[in-house]
């Protein structure tokens, strides 16, 4: 039987991303993400609960962040997709510790708190523009004259002697009722 390990998070970055470079040229990005759930408690008052998630990215995503092609900072509102990974290590007191991290596959900015400073408002875009080659379209040697079209008159309609059948029109006042599943349906329609 197949399994699925997928995480989708929307929240705010808790710190600026940290980049670690290894001797073989590989880069690792790590950052924390805060997700907040808002609900009413027993007394009817609004309460919030914030969970912190450790995010780790390798490969092209870490390289883009390291080279400032993606410029994320603390407080940015992010959408993250990835998978859970638990690892263990032994700390300095010889105690085995377990850490659960989100191995990031996709990371997108959904908004930022940098709007007060125009230089930082589009920092990711600005850093890309500085590294991207400039492109200027060639100007044509001549200007084409605009083409105007006359309205086309409708063709005369020839009537047929046979009656024309039309499809029944759906009624929006009485939508169709949902169909019940077959009596032999066991509810298992997954392919695995």
Q: For the chain, list the domains and their CATH numbers.
A: 7-131 (2.40.50.140)
What is the rounded CA–CA span in Å between residue 96 and residue 92? 10
Residue 118: phi and psi, rounded to 5, are -60, -30
Top-confidence residue, 68 or 167: 68
Mean pLDDT confidence for 134-145:
53
Task: Return the pLDDT at 66.
Answer: 85
User: pTM of the prediction?
Assistant: 0.56
Task: Return the pLDDT at 84.
Answer: 95
Task: Return the pLDDT at 50.
Answer: 94
134 has pLDDT over 90:
no
Report pLDDT digits (tens) over 50-93. 999 999 999 888 888 888 888 888 999 999 999 999 999 999 99
**pLDDT grade for 185, boundaries at 50, 70 and 90:** low
24 has pLDDT over 60:
yes
Helix (H) or strand (E) holding 152: none
Q: How does the average pLDDT of the chain come out, rounded? A: 77
Query: Residue 40, SS3?
Result: strand
Q: Identify the CA nearest to 58 among candidates 30, 85, 23.
A: 30
**Of 26-35, 65-74, 95-104, which gets the smallest average pLDDT?**
65-74
Query: Residue 158, SS3?
Result: coil
Task: Return the pLDDT at 128.
Answer: 45
All residues at 6 or more sequence positions from 90 whose CB lies less than 8 Å from its CB, including other chains = 96, 97
All residues at 6 or more sequence positions from 68 whose CB lies less than 8 Å from its CB, including other chains = 127
Mean pLDDT confidence for 126-151:
53
């Amino acid at each position: 039987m197949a399994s699925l390990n997928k995480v989708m998070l929307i929240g705010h970055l808790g710190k600026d991303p940290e980049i670690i470079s290894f001797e073989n040229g590989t880069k690792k990005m790590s950052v924390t993400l805060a997700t907040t759930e808002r609900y009413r408690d027993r007394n009817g008052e609004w309460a919030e609960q914030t969970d912190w998630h450790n995010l780790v990215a390798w490969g092209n995503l870490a390289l883009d962040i390291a080279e400032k092609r993606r410029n994320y900072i603390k407080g940015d509102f992010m959408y993250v997709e990835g998978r859970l990974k638990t690892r263990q290590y032994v700390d300095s007191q010889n105690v085995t510790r377990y850490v659960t991290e989100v191995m990031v596959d996709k990371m997108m900015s959904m908004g930022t708190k940098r709007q007060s400073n125009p230089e930082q408002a589009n920092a990711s875009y600005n850093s890309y523009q500085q590294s991207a080659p400039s492109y200027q379209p060639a100007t044509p040697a001549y200007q084409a004259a605009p083409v105007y079209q006359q309205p086309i008159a409708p063709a005369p309609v020839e009537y047929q002697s046979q009656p024309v059948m039309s499809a029944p029109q759906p009624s929006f006042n009485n939508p169709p009722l949902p169909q019940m599943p077959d009596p032999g349906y066991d509810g298992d329609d997954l392919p695995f």
